[in-house]
Every structure is written in C-alpha cells, then in structure tokens.
Structure 1
Amino acid sequence: MARIAGVDLPRDKRIEIGLTYIYGVGFSRSQEILEKTGVDPNIRVKDLADADVIKLRETVEGDYLIEGDLRRQVNMNIKRLMDIGCYRGRRHRVGLPVRGQRTRTNSRTRRSGKRTIAGKKKPPRK
C-alpha cells in the first residue's frame, strides 16, 4: 500500500491517476511528478517498488504545497477577502456565488436552506 502525504492511494489504479487523490495534485501535476522522478505512469500502485514510493513521497512532499498546508492557505485567502470587505469577500460571507454566476434561477447548492423550492408542498398541520 502506497501512502503519500497522509493519503492512501487506491491500489488498483494506475499511479498517474492514483496521485490525483492527493489534495493539490491534479492530472497534469501528477504527470509532471512522474516525469521528474522517472516512474512509469502506466504502472499500478500495487506494483510500485519501495524505492519508487520513496522517490514519489520525497518529490510530492518536498516540492509542492499539498493537503493541509494548501487547505490552510486557501482558507486564509478567503478569510483575508472577508476581512478587507471586498465584493468577493462579502459574497463568501453571505454564502452566495462568488464568480459572477446568476442567482435568480441557479446556485441551489450555494444558497441551500435560504429559500424554499417552488412546487414543494409542506405536510398539513394536525
């Protein structure tokens, strides 16, 4: 079992896909990491040698901002926007879409619980 950055990689997937289970590593970054370490991208996670796992772990944890540190940085960026009171920060604070999407008909997930859904009937009171 390969464990990198505190994440257990799925055993039956190719390492190219398995690395994307780490927060902050997408497909293109996964390919970049494999090219840098010299590991074959078509090999399955369960077939990795221990030396390959160690090379991958050192590269991922040393060169990239991932998992907890990345989550912390993203949350601090959002908190900074909210503290300075800019438009995006106010949208985050109120729980509305931040990037200019329309809110009249869409954005159900972002506005969840704020408004009733049309056509949904309440059970009768007894």
Structure 2
Amino acid sequence: MYILDTKLKDNKIMTIGLTEIYGIGSKISFKICKKLGLSKNITADQVSKNHLSSLDYILNKEYKLKVSNELKKIESFRLQKLISIKSSRGLRRVKGLPVRGQRTHTNAKTAKKHKFH
C-alpha cells in the first residue's frame, strides 16, 4: 500500500506504519488514527479505501502537514539559504563539522557522515 509516495508494509500496525512517512511522528499518527476511528491493532491491509481517502483529506486540509517530498524540499531550501548568506551554521555544514557547538577534538563523526553536498 502506498500513501504519499511511501510504501507501507501490509502486516504493520497502522499507527506505526504512518510514522514511516517522512514528517509524521508517533503522536501525529495516533491522532490521525483516532480521528479516523481506527483501532490500535488494525494493520495496513485491513484499512478500507474510505479510510485512505479520509486520511488524505485529514493530512492536507485539517492538519495542513507538509510531508514527504514537500518537506524535504523546504528543508533543502532552508539549508541552501544558510549556505548562501554564509552564516556560521551554513559554513560548518558545508565543511562537515558539528553545527550546534559540539566538540570536535575527539568526536564529530556523525556530523561528517551527514555532510551537506
């Protein structure tokens, strides 16, 4: 089953499956399932087509969530802006260094792994 360009596994519980969509966490997925009237133990393959259309309506109209590709695009623009104005956060991200004041003497492996290209 595909929801917002994300493939959900059929045997996964719906509240946990919704968290696989980029931009939806556990709290929001519980709220969405509660609003749809889904039980806690329902799996993705047991959800009806009506619930799926309601899910799309809830995400777009009621919660006005930016999810998946739209959210990734917004984050990319935000990072490009930091780099273009040459802020310290943008420059450190380009160099692959920690952005928020962490030490670099022995650590910073994660920051180098997430280096912005």
What is the TM-score when the length of structure 2 is the normalising length? Answer: 0.85
What residue ranges of structure 1 are gaps of 5+ in the alignment?
113-126
Q: Which residue does the alignment assign to 1:118? A: none
Higher Cα Rg, which structure = 1
The answer on 1:42 being equivalent to 2:46 is no
- Structure 1 SS opposite 2:109: coil
2:108 matched residue in structure 1: 107
Kept after mapping to 2: 8 A contact 1:5/1:61: no
Q: Which residue of 2 aligns with 1:17?
A: 16
Instruction: Provide the residue aligned with 2:94 in structure 1.
Output: 93
Divergent runs of 4+, >2 A: 35-42, 60-63, 109-112
Asked whether 1:54 is paired with 2:53, we answer yes
Once the 2 structures are TM-superposed, how far is the Cα of residue 85 of structure 1 from its aligned partner? 1.4
The CA deviation at 1:39 is 2.4
Percent identity between matched residues is 32
Unmatched tracts of structure 2, length 5 or more = none
Deviations 1:67-99 (A, max 9, x none): 111001001111111111111111112111112
Deviation of the 1:58 alpha carbon: 2.3
Q: How many residues align?
A: 111
Q: Point out the more displaced range, 52-61 or 41-50.
A: 52-61
Correspondence for 2:6: 7
TM-score calculated relative to the size of structure 1? 0.79
Q: Which has the higher helix share?
A: 2
Q: Which residue of 2 aligns with 1:64?
A: 65
